[in-house]
Chain A
Amino acid sequence: MNSIHDMGGMHGLGPLDPSDDEIVFHAAWEGRTMALARAMMAGKHFNLDEYRYAMERIDPARYLQFSYYERWLEGTLNLLMEKGVITQQEFDAQLSKLSKADS
């Protein structure tokens, strides 16, 4: 699809910052996100090509705003819901259960 992910050759996407060179996760959730996405592929809930396509379908404005791992999380959630592995209702219920437990 012709969307924002197809960036080769574009101008104006901001300055390059070579000093931004961390190689490990800046927060624990990033590592969990990557592991969960990999795990779902290993469990054959979706394949890598479907996963790339799920990230390409993220709204272009949000795609650019998201960090790399936010994109991974969004792609994973969207795909698991499309595939019926989880539902939005289940996810929302889980979120509110955890928020209540935290407060």
Chain B
Amino acid sequence: MPVVDLELVKNLYKTPGAARLPVDVAPRFKAGDAVVARNINPPGHTRLPRYIRDKKGVIENDLGVFHLPDSRAAGTGDQAQHMYTVRFDAREVWGVEAPANDSLRITLWDDYMNPA
């Protein structure tokens, strides 16, 4: 492990875009696709919050390839996947009391979705 010295720290914030993985992976979805967030309940780390599970949304755009947080948190190595901005109607997520116009956007990885 590197000693955390001044030089290392100064370089920390000079790495824009370093979270992106430079690998070529086929996307499972494309902009405009109807998707449903998977209903998973893993005991480990996930960035798929409960409120969005089983809800239907639409892929707004493909953000490119990133690591899946679930596996990196578990220490089981990087899984390179496409990440997408996904749009959900507020009513789909929160029910009829939510305003019809409103919406929510969240980032979902390939593993977090099925085709709707």
Q: Known contacts A42-B8, A43-B4, A44-B1; is A50 also within 8 Å of B73 by CB? A: yes
Asked whether B1 lies within 8 Å of A45 as measured between CB atoms, the reply is: yes
* Of A1, A8, A44, A49, most B-chain CB atoms within 10 Å: A49
Asked whether B9 lies within 8 Å of A52 as measured between CB atoms, the reply is: no
B53 to chain A, nearest CB (A): 10
Q: Known contacts A8-B51, A50-B72; is A42 also within 8 Å of B4 by CB? A: yes
Q: For the complex, give the distance between the alpha carbons of A42 and B13 in Å.
A: 11
Number of A-B contacts (CB under 8 A): 53
Chain B residues contacting A9 (CB-CB under 8 Å) are 50-51, 94
Tell me the residues in window 1-60 of chain B with beta carbons closer than 8 Å to chain A beta carbons.
1-4, 8-9, 12, 41-46, 49-52
Chain A residues contacting B73 (CB-CB under 8 Å) are 47, 49-50, 52-53
Residue of B1, B8, B49, B72 touching A8 (CB-CB under 8 A): B49
Q: For the complex, give the distance between the alpha carbons of A53 and B69 in Å.
A: 10
Residue of A8, A43, A47 touching B50 (CB-CB under 8 A): A8
A35 to chain B, nearest CB (A): 9
Of all chain A residues, which has the CB nearest B104? A8
Asked whether A1 lies within 8 Å of B42 as measured between CB atoms, the reply is: yes
What are the interface flags for B72-111 relative to A under an 8 Å C-beta threshold, 1 for contact and 0 otherwise? 1101000000000000000000100000000000000000
Taking beta carbons and an 8 Å cutoff, which residues of B are in contact with A?
Answer: 1-4, 8-9, 12, 41-46, 49-52, 67, 69-70, 72-73, 75, 94
